[in-house]
Amino acid sequence: MAADMPNTNGSSPASSAQEPLIFTMPEPYRGLAASQRPSPSPSSPSIPPPSKPLVPPSGPVQKSTGKGGRRRTRFFVWGGIGLFLALAGAAAYVFIALRPIQIVRQEPVPTPSPIAVKKEEPKVTSPVTVPVPTKEEPKTSSPFPTGTQPGRDGDSDGLTDAEEVLYGTQAGRPDTDADGYLDGNEVFNGYNPKGTAPLTLFESGLVKAHEAPPAYRILYPSPWLIQAFPQDPLRVVFSAPSGETFAVSVQAKDPSQTLGAWYASTNPGKRADELVPSVTKNGYPALTAPDHMTAYVDGGALVILVGYAVGTKSTVDYLQTFQMMVNSLSLLAAAPL
């Protein structure tokens, strides 16, 4: 026993270092220590604490206080949302309400533009519209008598619709016989406009010849009436069914006198240069009035006058026929030249 106990008397350091010290528990205490050692079993006395949160008194108090807090929180949240929406709606209303005021204030700005346009309009139109017609009117005077107008020419071939009926041509075809010449041009030169054979108006029977010996011979449309004057055998009047008349007469002239000089001497106050000079298809000098409805044909010792009168009508329907008649004039062999 003494050998197992440690050296309490202070053994030398050399002996203690050499031999290890072994401590043993007294035998009476060896079993006691094992019986009193706490058991590591899971069913230890520390398990009851988890049952404390399940105590009834603490539960209802916390739940009641939690519902009241949530209600208050919801109240403040919804109240804040409502207040935000109210403020946003008020701001939008104010923004929309103020926009029309800005537009109204800006409307007077563009008003000066129409005033400027109105001031410029008379400056542009006055020099353009006023001078042009006044300067051109005397240059483009109508060749027809005052109060009359040319007859209708539907196909623009030189023959009026009334002349198309007279010569049997088609009003919708400018060249009825398709020979390359307009119907009006053929009548003007004495040719048949509705066929190539017979060739001339006289050969086709569309016109007749009137002779006034010993002076002249002239062609006129076959359907027209002829009026002779026994007291003046050189005078004749041809009448169309529409009432228009074509008068032919003869006046004496000095053979050495020109046609223009004769006109000036027989028409005091009028000038020959106002007339349009021409030559008929038979080679006779002629003067035509500006209205193209009076012609003077030089026959040497005589002048043949041909005049066209529309009567009560307001349209000139046989002007091409009148020119055909003037071109057809020829002097008879016995007529002095």
Residue 100 lies inside a defined structural domain of this protein: no
pTM: 0.57
CA end-to-end span of the chain, whole Å? 202
Residue 136 lies inside a defined structural domain of this protein: no
Q: Give 10-residue mean pLDDT values along the chain (337 residues).
A: 45 50 63 52 49 48 54 80 85 72 49 50 49 46 66 93 95 93 95 90 96 95 95 96 95 94 92 93 95 94 96 93 96 63
* Helix (H) / strand (E) containing 225: strand 225-228
Residue 40 lies inside a defined structural domain of this protein: no
What's CA 116's distance to the chain center, in Å?
26
Q: What is the pLDDT of residue 207?
A: 97
Residues whose CB is less than 8 angstroms from the CB of residue 172 and which lie 6 or more positions away in sequence, other chains included: 154, 155
- CA 135 – CA 123 distance, rounded (Å): 19
Q: Identify the bridge partners of residue 226 per DSSP, sorted by sequence position.
A: 238
Name the residue range of residue 278's domain. 149-331
Residue 48 lies inside a defined structural domain of this protein: no
Q: What is the pLDDT of residue 49?
A: 53
Residue 167 lies inside a defined structural domain of this protein: yes
- Kindly report the CATH number assigned to the domain that includes residue 264: 3.40.1000
Sign of the torsion angle spanned by Cα atoms 246, 250, 255, 257: negative
Tell me which DSSP letter residue 248 carries: E
- CA 273 – CA 292 distance, rounded (Å): 15
Tell me which DSSP letter residue 287 carries: E
Residue 169 lies inside a defined structural domain of this protein: yes
Q: How many domains is the chain built from? A: 1
Residue 254 lies inside a defined structural domain of this protein: yes
